Structure 1
């Protein structure tokens, strides 16, 4: 089976991607900042699924670290390391601050991780994959991409638009590009950002395992925009047709 490289693999959706892909007998390259957590996960995956797991610690806000991950993606493979056939650009975080008066360095850091790293890693993967005539790139965005929800929404809007354009360019190459646009999902994401979601109704929440299962199924079918759950597909449709004044009003309320 193809090797999959997952960024942000130590927690949240990235962790779920790692387990589901390992269970499907994919060898893995795990990328995240916390090497100890990655090593623990790699040991569990090897023992449970019998797959090869490479640990690649990297901070995707640091250009040298991004370049190191890009080199692995561009590699045609050697020895026990096969070429990467699936890239999952999952790393990201919410700044949880107002832009005006907020820490601009934090905002730049978020853009480095969720925009620049996605571009650089997608470029490296697409070059290697098109040369072989097969592969897939899965970029994690959000339903928030359709809102006026601050810089996080803006970054995810870029990911969505970028992936759609990449899918057009990759047509008939044997390589696909998919953007995953989930809604609120039960992970560590909100706790890590210090976001209080206690008032969010239960119907708004998705389970990480179902989101990842749906995303991987859409990758296999070559779907460009993957929006798990009927309720978020309906919400996305509404956001696309609502007047932008109404969408901005929701963003202002947030």
Structure 2
């Protein structure tokens, strides 16, 4: 039975990945800061899908938390989903520097270190996959969040190129606005976001798993966001920033 480790696994896309992979008969290792919610999520998945679920409480914004997850990955997994992340309510440069640095640690350092921890076992077995959750925001200039997600996209493509093994897949997932707890946790007002731009988490995961199977290095789920990103690449960066600010983060 294959094993998948998912960070940020108790809500949103992380929880959707957990449901999908449990339905596909993966054993799960779930990582989250909230130990109580982690245990509840594990119990629900075991009851519904009858799979093995290991819980690993860890805060990826700390050295201790990162080291704990690295140690577990050294034991080997077949699929790593780097999903943990968060947003800021305030705009750059009004966000406290310690919060900005924490974002870079979770979005960038954790993705780098956990990918490096997972790869030796995958290379030894000559198979495996890594999904790094980025965002459609990676293609538009909008503060540290967008910048950090742009790094995730570039890193994922670069890592996949360097590995040079079609049996080991590394993919950046770039969804748009998804109905999750993301905006609520960041105390963001999402009222300015047009309704037609919202995606369902389960649909995003379904598209991601399809693109992963096809060997794509960047997955932009949903035709609406494929079009938005394609058009965004053709217009000046200043116009990109203006549209991004008008629509919302």
- Matched with 1:163 is 156
- Who is 1:45 aligned against? 45
Structure-2 change in CA distance of 1:206 and 1:173 (3 Å): closer
Query: Alpha-carbon deviation of 1:134?
Result: 0.3
For the Cα contact (< 8 Å) 2:88–2:95, is it kept in 1? no
- 101, 105, 108: which is aligned to 1:108? 101
Alignment correspondent of 1:70: 70
Question: Does structure 1 residue 210 correspond to structure 2 residue 196?
Answer: no
Map of 1:78 onto structure 2:
none
| Total equivalences in the alignment | 247
In the alignment, structure 1 residue 222 sits paired with structure 2 residue 215: yes
Taking structure 1 as the reference length, the TM-score comes to 0.94
Question: Would you identify which runs of 4 or more consecutive aligned residues in structure 1 move more than 4 Å?
Answer: 251-254
Which ranges in structure 1 are unaligned for 5 or more consecutive residues?
Answer: 76-82
1:102 and 1:157 map into 2 onto residues whose CA distance is: 19
Question: 1:134 is matched with which residue: 116, 127, 135?
Answer: 127
Structure 2 residue 226 is matched with structure 1 residue 233: yes
Report the TM-score, using the length of structure 2 for normalisation. 0.96
CA contact (8 A) 1:130 1:174 kept: no
Rounded to whole Å, the distance in 2 between the matches of 1:100 and 1:87 is 33
Shift of 1:128: 1.5
Contact 1:129 1:135 in 2 (8 A): yes
Question: Is residue 250 from structure 1 mapped to residue 243 from structure 2 by the alignment?
Answer: yes
Q: Deviations over 1:199-249 (max 9, x none)?
A: 322111111110011111111221111111001001111111212222233
Q: Distance in 1 between matches of 2:94 and 2:49?
A: 48
CA shift, 1:133, in A, is: 0.4
Secondary structure (helix, strand or coil) at the match of 1:29 reads strand
Structure 2 unaligned spans of 5+? none
